[in-house]
Amino acid sequence: MKVLQFPLARITIGFVLGIAITFYIKPAPAFLFGLLAITLLLFCTSYYLQKNILKNTIYFGLSSYLLSFLIGGATLIVHTDSYQQSNYTHNSSVFEKPQFVSLVVREKLKGSHFSDRYIALINQIENKNYSGKILLNIRKDSAHPSFETGTLLAIKGVLYKNKLPNNPNQFDYGEYLSKKQIYAQLFTDADQISISADLKKDIWYYTSKLRTKIIHNLEKNNFHKKELSVAIALILGQKQDISPDILQDYQYAGAIHILSVSGLHVGFLLLFLTFILSPIPNTKRGALLKLFLILLSLATFALIAGLAPSVVRSVTMFSFVAIGYQLRRSVNIYHTLLVSILLILLFQPSFLFDVGFQLSYIALFFILWLQPLLASIWKPKNKPLNYIWGILTVSFAAQIGTMPLSIYYFHQFPGLFFITNIIIIPLLSFMMILGVLVMTLAAFNCVPFFLSKPLEWGIHYLNKIVNSIASFEQFIIKDIPLNSYLLLSSYLLIVTIIIWFKKPTFHKLIFVFLTIISVQIAYVHTQWHIENEQEWVIFNLKRNTMITERHGHKVILFANDSITKTSKNNSILQSYLTANFSVLGTKEKMKNTAFFKEKSILILDSTGVYPNNIRPSLILLTQSPKINLDRMIQLLKPKLVVADASNYKTIQKYWNKTCKKQKIPFHATAEKGYYILK
């Protein structure tokens, strides 16, 4: 690929690799910065030698890429809150006992049935200055309205560190929060909060006020609530108020990307801005004025949309496109893409681990790289057909590029994505332009009926179309297993096939066959690894007990009738089966004893009856049995006691104290998550 010959491409790749490897290895900051200083010295030396003594040497290039790699790692450390000494994670007492915490509300998130949720910034703990983001959970109370951005709060409470997943292969919400530099949560009631009369009026406050004003003015104009929630997501990227049913419809129809502001939306916005500014003459001053207005408009749009990763990426990239276009310079779109990646990650390296950021860039790259190849297969002379074919090729290029990554993260694939895009993209272009106009006017307390109603009707019919497509559930392929080995080999295969199709040669065909072999090796390795695994899992299921025993691909389920009868709809079980490339074999009722790899397991239910002649390696307590645990431990002498989430929390605290007294490890799944015997 010619783009890789561009020095910035290799520097960007080195920079990205530096961020990724530093994130997973977590080297000591002193070591990394020391290495960076040495490499900088080597870079300067090699540059001097390259310029004055040695010509065409590889040392300067190697030192450049090594320097970019280490700068990437250093950038991550500098921008990671947990490395800062002022971060609250370095105050262990706030995780152990109640402390007075002073904080400011940064952003309102989508709430649950029981609580409102906010991202908040810590200012002080016990009158000492600290920093860092937390997730604030406030129990819902009709007497207390939600807090606006910038509200200063004082709360006495304990911070809880992000938990590990409750069950195996479940979505790791704790890791998701950590990647957003949120390392703890605070749970409280509204009547336990002291609210300051002052507000912190920063850029986040004013953009939030502007969004609130827009929404309020549209509500006053009788904009239907369901359509308004989709309009706010479509135009401003705020999805907090969309119902789960609508989100699921868009996901199943393969249209979820339109509810996250991305390059498609910003591209429509740029075209619209270019159109309305076209009366300005194309003189030198006129071009500079248009450029200034376009960049200002895009930056304002990004702020109003909350600086989401996809918005920042799209606005940054299209800003470079606008600069090149208005200054009449040829713009290599790949170079624009690389510059936008480099600039974004320089200021927000954590964006690299955002799923939306990854999918957006991959989709955009494949549209630019693969779509011309697909479009060249057929060139219809009919304009409507040509338009539909263009949408299809863009859609297929994006789906081919994002398919492995989407399956890796979500384990499903919408089979009717091409139908969705043919119908939605023309409608989206109309609604995006109309929506931006309506939102702008709403910010000035002016919402004309003849503009707002067409937007509302358009979104209403958009929801109807998406719902109709999503209703064909037989075309939604679910529970597709894919691990990191198959993900990497799949991308190698896709890339080599496209390179071969662009300009077929024998050598490129050999690479295609080699990548096919790599996919087979990855698959065989995965199957061999799974086949040689055995594990016995106690799940964390509220008010219920569920156990699985896995031998290779076959899984035996031990549970009561209510779980065994609905096992196909059990998302926890299905996630486990999918991640382990396994199938559910037999379903059995729970017994009082079990054996796994020469280990005996005693399972106690609510009856509390157990034999005296067994010496179990593990005792599993379920359904809150009324037993004298102290006496039972002395009699049976187990090596471990496990209590699942079917037990009362109060009795689990008593059991924990008893096990500590007897010096026996105690594992409560409600607190520590699932337990695995291997």
For residue 182, give the nearest of 117, 239, 247 by alpha carbon.
117
Structure tokens at 509: 């065909």
pLDDT at 443: 84
**Residues 503 and 644 both lie in one domain:** no
Cβ-based neighbour number of residue 384 at 10 Å: 8
Phi, psi of 460 (to 5 degrees): -60, -50
What is the predicted pLDDT for the residue at 309? 63
Residue 239 sits at φ, ψ, to 5 deg, of -105, 15
CB 472 within 8 A of CB 414: no
Is the domain of 92 the same as that of 175? yes
Question: How would you classify the pairing of strands 599-604 and 618-621?
Answer: parallel
Domain co-membership, 432 together with 460: yes
Q: Is residue 587 part of a domain?
A: yes
Give the chain's end-to-end CA distance (angstroms, integer): 46
Per the structure, the count of domains in the chain is 5
With contact defined as beta carbons under 8 Å apart, do 14 and 72 qualify? yes
Q: What is d(CA 665, CA 656) in angstroms, rounded to the nearest whole number? A: 9
186-206 mean pLDDT: 88
| CA dist 318 → 4, 278, 337, 395, 552 (Å) | 21, 18, 9, 20, 49
Please report the pLDDT score of residue 122 as a whole number: 95
Residues 231 and 331 sit within 8 Å (Cβ to Cβ)? no
Q: How far is CA 425 from CA 181, 320, 395, 455, in A?
A: 35, 24, 10, 15
Higher local confidence (pLDDT), 310 or 45:
45
Clarify whether residues 443 and 539 are in a common domain: no
Reply yes or no on whether the pLDDT at 1 is more than 60.
no
How far is 357 from 464, CA to CA, in rounded Å? 28
Average pLDDT over residues 607-627: 89
> What are the backbone dihedrals phi and psi of residue 161, each rounded to the nearest 5 degrees, phi first?
-65, 155
Task: Dihedral sign for Cα 438, 442, 446, 448, please.
Answer: positive
160 or 212, which is more confident: 160
| Residue 667 in domain | yes
Decide: 636 and 602 in contact? Cβ < 8 Å: yes
pLDDT band at residue 5, thresholds of 50, 70 and 90?
low
pTM: 0.86
Tokens of 15: 């920079």
Q: State how far the Cα of 425 lies from the Cα of 407, in Å rounded to an integer.
A: 23
Residues 308 and 447 in one domain: yes
| Chosen domain end from 167, 200, 233 | 200
- pLDDT tier at 429, thresholds 50, 70, 90: confident
Residue 439 confidence class, pLDDT cut points 50, 70, 90: confident
Task: Read off the pLDDT of residues 574-597 as tens digits, 9 standing for 90 and up.
Answer: 999 999 999 999 999 888 889 998
List, as one string, the DSSP characters of 382-415.
Answer: SHHHHHHHHHHHHHHHHHHHHHHHHHHHHSEEET
Least confident of 14-23, 332-341, 393-402: 332-341
In this prediction, residue 314 has a pLDDT band, given cuts at 50, 70 and 90, of: confident
Q: Do residues 69 and 191 share a domain?
A: no
Looking at residues 382-411, what average pLDDT do you find? 88
**240 and 371 both lie in a single domain:** yes
Residue 311 covered by a domain:
yes
Please report, as a single letter, which amino acid is at residue 274. T
Residues found in the chain: 678
Say if residue 312's pLDDT is above 80.
no
Domain annotation covers residue 205: no
| Residue-level pLDDT at 329 | 57
Claim to verify: residue 294 and residue 392 sit in the same structural domain: yes
Residue 286 lies in a domain: yes
Can you read off the two tokens belonging to residue 199?
A: 């507000």
Range list of β-strands (E), 99-132: 99-108, 115-125, 128-129
For the stretch 72-87, pLDDT in tens is 999 999 999 999 999 9
Report whether pLDDT(285) > 60.
yes
Q: Which domain holds residue 515?
A: 484-531
When pLDDT is averaged across residues 32-58 and rounded to a whole number, the result is 83
Q: Are residues 144 and 270 in the same domain?
A: no
**Domain-terminating residue out of 38, 57, 79:** 79
pLDDT of residue 271: 80
Average of pLDDT values for 605-627?
A: 89
Higher pLDDT, 259 or 499: 499
At 319, the amino acid letter reads S
β-pair partners for 595: 600
pLDDT band at residue 57 using 50, 70 and 90 as cut-offs: low
Please, which pLDDT band fits residue 561 given cuts at 50, 70 and 90? confident
Within a 10 A sphere around the Cβ of 247, how many other Cβ atoms? 16
> Are residue 17 and residue 106 in the same domain, yes or no?
no
User: Final residue of a domain: which of 452, 475, 498?
Assistant: 475
Residue 672 resides in a domain: yes
Q: CA triplet 471, 476, 482: central angle to 5 degrees?
A: 155
Pairing verdict, β 618-621 and 476-478: unpaired
Structure tokens at 352: 């690299």
Helix, strand, coil proportions of the chain in percent (round to 5)?
60, 15, 25
pLDDT at 40: 92
Inform me whether the pLDDT recorded for 462 exceeds 70.
yes
Q: Do both 245 and 103 map to the same domain?
A: no
Q: Give me the percent of the chain exceeding a pLDDT of 90.
A: 40
Q: Which of 605, 611, 677 is nearest to 643 (CA)?
A: 605
Residue 601, φ and ψ in degrees, nearest 5: -125, 130
Q: Which of the four pLDDT bands, split at 50, 70 and 90, describes residue 6? A: low
Does 256 or 460 have the greater pLDDT score?
Answer: 460
Same domain for 127 and 217?
A: no
Average pLDDT on 180-191 reads 91
Residue 538 CA from chain centroid, whole number: 27
pLDDT at 144: 72
Is pLDDT of 345 > 60?
yes
Taking residues 334-351, report their average pLDDT: 85
**Amino acid 583: pLDDT:** 93
Q: Which residue has tokens 């916005």?
A: 269
H/E stretch holding 1 reads: none
Confidence tier at 54 by pLDDT (50, 70, 90): low
Distance CA 415, CA 661 (A): 57
- pLDDT at position 610 over 60: yes
What is the Cβ-side half-sphere exposure of residue 271, based on CA atoms within 13 angstroms? 11
pLDDT tens digits for range 230-248: 888 888 777 777 888 888 8
Residue 392, C-beta contacts closer than 8 angstroms, at least 6 positions apart: 418, 421, 422
260 band by pLDDT with thresholds 50, 70 and 90: confident
The count of other CB atoms within 10 Å of the CB of residue 616 is 22
C-alpha separations of 561 from 259, 546, 582, 587 in Å: 40, 11, 22, 9
| Pairing, β 618-621 against β 640-643 | parallel
